[in-house]
Amino acid sequence: MKAVLVFIDGILADWRQRQHLGGMPDFYKREVVMKDMPVAGAVGCMQELAQRYQLVYIGARPESAQAVTEEWLQAAHFPKGPVYTARTHADRLVLARQLKDQFEFAGGIGTRWNDNQLHLELGCLSIILKEFEIEWDTVRRYLLGKEYTALQTALTLLTPWAKATSQPETNRLDVTIEANDLIPAVKAIHASHWGYLAAITGLDPATPAKPAPAGQTAVAEGTLQALYHFCAGAIIVTLRTHTSRADARLTSICGVIPAASLFERELSEMFGITLTGLPHPDRLLLPDEWPDGVYPLRKDFDPAQIQLKPVAVASNGKNGKSGKFIVPIGPQHPALKEPGHFEFEVDGETVTGASVRLGYVHRGIERATEERNWTQNLYLLERICGICSHHHAFAYALGVEKLAGVEAPPRAQAIRELAAGLERIHSHLLWLGVAAHEAGFETLFMYSWRDRETVMDILEAFTGNRVNYSVNVLGGVKLDMTDEIAASIRRGLDFLEERTHHYLKVVTTDQAFLRRTRGVGTLTKEQAEEFGVVGPMARASGLTRDIRVESPYGAYKLFPIEFVMETAGDLEAKFIVRLRELFESYKAIRNILDHLPVGDLTARMPRKIPAGETVSRVEAPRGELFYYIQSSGGEMPARVKVRTPSLCNFSSVLQVAVGHQLADMPMLLAGIDPCFSCNDRMVVINGDETWTWEQLRRYGIEYYKK
């Protein structure tokens, strides 16, 4: 633990009540000294500091006054810490030299120039403040960091509505509020520009309903919870609201934060919470045939009971009830290789409106995690997405390790970051090709995908797979880095770096291409903040949003990443940001290969994870990937919520689309690098045949025997 040197007189102790005794022997008399008042705010700030630092007190007092000083500090409820006294400045300098060997000082707090000299002697941060009128926030800012102040600000903001608060982790604040207070609380956060809405998690903590008497529908007891996660830097503030299970109802926060619309629609469909005031309450994720009143993430959901309702098929050629000319893109369309459905209202070539429908490949993975054990889930979650599979496993493993209180060994952490870097390279190069294809620049598409094969070969050599690398296990990694592979990675990176320079030149100088990207789809910084975009989208609009930098996890503390940012916010900026991020990845991977820590690859994980809940965030290639994991202390999680970066970014494209040319739509969509598999995690397959796990397993074995 690092130490902080705190000067007593004038900073902690207000000795002005005995000023008239100055120079007299009574000045340090016990009765007199004990009457000193602590300086306003001193005790609170020192207690906060003591959580992170060892406090060392120093006073310009004779040695005879040491005992009384200690007594006074204790009486005033200052945290414990060694107390040193020295009458003259020269003596204090000598003292400082001795202290330097005993403690590692992070900073010193004083009021005079000679305190500064003392701090210089210690070689630490020096904070010099005005005597008796200390601005403790300055101390907090420099010694506790801006995250700490962010946490305090959030606490102050939410206090009027808080029914209960807790701080389960150093960077998390959990505030329980009444459902009626939701809007004012969210407004308070929004109005003060404190962070952004990262996700809304629904929870059904209720025990399954008792079997209902014949002829009656089961009514589950208890309440449903909705958790609104706000993030600012490393700090996560969760607003926890309750609503009754029988009549689940909350007010939509879309009026305050329009970007919440997709989150709320997901919450409403999965948990059956009616959100009053939701602008577009139509289905987002569940299929059209899904019966009303069946909510798949409630604990009493029974898949066997689903009776799909018939749906009228809209006749082709009619432009809907509105009479507007609507161009549908997806779920099967050459512009979108993945199934999502966008409807663009057009007037001639100009887009006048846009809407989205997701869920075509929803696979019910969140629900499935609740029926598998912690280890099985690692492999299940990895399959959420084929492009950022490692990041899903990474986020999940980090979260579970946090819950279990286990930390993966440094070598494992480094290998995880390395795999994440390789995945980012392949993802960004893939995106470059797709985006070029959307613009009709086939040559760039072909070239970038040819070069992407280099990193795919590296990944295959390193992990054995081109997709779903399966690098992680809970508590570490299963693959080690060998010199041979390290050499091949270095060779590959050299080649890719050269190519990336070339591509950066192409996208910034090719005139025909620039006509399609420069000034197109501009998302200003304010808009980006308003829509809560994440990842390269946010960084292209001048927002400093990168979990790797703001809240370094795993090995990112050891092998940091430089922030890449552009301010233009148009498509060109999105190209530049992603390409420049590649250079950062190359640098970080080389750095890891050069300084790979030695040691174990795994730490021992318990089979049952202690009860608790945590939030785990990683920066996937597309932006912040958010995992909420809840354990009830068993072998299986109680709830795993996944919020993928694409969901945050969709709403921005729908807003920006209006006023653009239809020809720009594929580019705009590609600009966010959407990943539909990530969003969709549920599907119901109604076949004639239902296989049990055992049958499926046997089929798999037979299949591979051939």
Partner 1 sequence: MNILGPIINVLFFPAGLFVLIIGLAYLWVDRKLVAQFQNRIGPRWFQPLADVVKLFFKEEVVPDGVDARFFVGLPILALAAALTTALYVPLVGLQGAYNFPGDLIVVVYLLSVVTMSLALAGSNTASRFSLIGATRTLTQLFSYEAPFLLALLGPAIVAHSWQINTINTYAGTHWILLTQPIGFVIALVGLMGKLELPPFDAPEAETEIVAGAMTDYSGRGLAIFQLAKAVEMVVGLTLIAALYLGGIGNPIDFFAKTLILLLFLAGLQSLFTRFRIEQTVKWWRYAALLVLAQWVIMVVLGQGVLS
* Contact pick of 121, 174, 417, 438 for partner 1 (by CB under 8 A): 438
Partners of 639 in beta bridges: 630
Give least dist CB 515 to partner 1, A: 6
Q: Does 662 bind partner 1 (CB under 8 A)?
A: yes
What are the structure tokens assigned to 365, written together?
């993975």
* Residues 86, 696: Cα–Cα separation, whole Å: 78
Give least dist CB 649 to partner 1, A: 19
Q: Does 355 bind partner 1 (CB under 8 A)?
A: no
Q: Does 313 bind partner 1 (CB under 8 A)?
A: no
Q: Does 316 bind partner 1 (CB under 8 A)?
A: yes
Contacts of 38 (CB under 8 A, 6+ apart): 12, 13, 14, 76, 78
407-411-414-419 Cα dihedral, nearest 10 degrees: -100
Q: Does 446 bind partner 1 (CB under 8 A)?
A: yes
* Residues 538, 575: Cα–Cα separation, whole Å: 13
* Contact pick of 2, 466, 515, 525 for partner 1 (by CB under 8 A): 515
| Stretch of residues binding partner 1 (CB under 8 A), selected from 194-202, 366-374, 439-447, 692-700 | 439-447
* Contact pick of 512, 598, 685, 701 for partner 1 (by CB under 8 A): 512
* Contact pick of 265, 341, 426, 516 for partner 1 (by CB under 8 A): 516
* Residues 659, 665: Cα–Cα separation, whole Å: 11
* Residues 356, 474: Cα–Cα separation, whole Å: 36
**217 vs 443, which CB is nearer to partner 1?**
443
Of 222, 273, 270, 232, whose CA–CA distance to 251 is shortest? 273
Q: What is the DSSP letter of 5?
A: E
Q: Which residue has the tokens 């202290």?
A: 99
* Contact pick of 394, 513, 626, 627 for partner 1 (by CB under 8 A): 513
Cβ burial of 320 (10 Å; 0-12, 13-18, 19+) is: exposed
Alpha helices (H) in 467-535, listed in sequence order: 483-509, 511-517, 525-531
**276 vs 322, which CB is nearer to partner 1?**
322
Q: For residues 253-282, which are near partner 1 according to CB under 8 A?
A: none
Give least dist CB 510 to partner 1, A: 7
Q: How many residues bind partner 1 (CB under 8 A)?
A: 34
CA distances from 680 to 22, 538, 675 (A): 75, 23, 9
216-217-218-221 Cα dihedral, nearest 10 degrees: -110
| Stretch of residues binding partner 1 (CB under 8 A), selected from 325-333, 363-371, 417-425, 476-484 | 325-333
* Contact pick of 93, 327, 504, 636 for partner 1 (by CB under 8 A): 327
What are the structure tokens assigned to 61, written together?
């007092």
* Residues 11, 38: Cα–Cα separation, whole Å: 8
Q: Does 457 bind partner 1 (CB under 8 A)?
A: no
Give least dist CB 494 to partner 1, A: 20
Q: For residues 537-596, which are near partner 1 according to CB under 8 A?
A: none
Beta-strand ranges (E) seen in 219-282 are 223-232, 235-244, 249-251, 274-276
* Contact pick of 155, 209, 326, 485 for partner 1 (by CB under 8 A): 326
* Contact pick of 147, 510, 562, 635 for partner 1 (by CB under 8 A): 510
Q: Does 335 bind partner 1 (CB under 8 A)?
A: yes
Q: Does 666 bind partner 1 (CB under 8 A)?
A: yes
Give least dist CB 448 to partner 1, A: 11
Q: What is the DSSP letter of 223?
A: E
* Contact pick of 178, 221, 442, 498 for partner 1 (by CB under 8 A): 442
**236 vs 506, which CB is nearer to partner 1?**
506
Of 159, 193, 192, whose CA–CA distance to 175 is shortest? 159
Q: Does 347 bind partner 1 (CB under 8 A)?
A: no
* Residues 150, 266: Cα–Cα separation, whole Å: 29
| Stretch of residues binding partner 1 (CB under 8 A), selected from 233-241, 573-581, 657-665, 676-684 | 657-665
The pair phi, psi for residue 454, each rounded to 5°, is -60, -50
Q: Does 325 bind partner 1 (CB under 8 A)?
A: yes
Q: Please report, as ranges, the residues that interact with partner 1 according to CB under 8 A.
A: 316-317, 319, 325-328, 333-335, 346, 349, 436-443, 446-447, 450, 510, 512-513, 515-516, 661-666
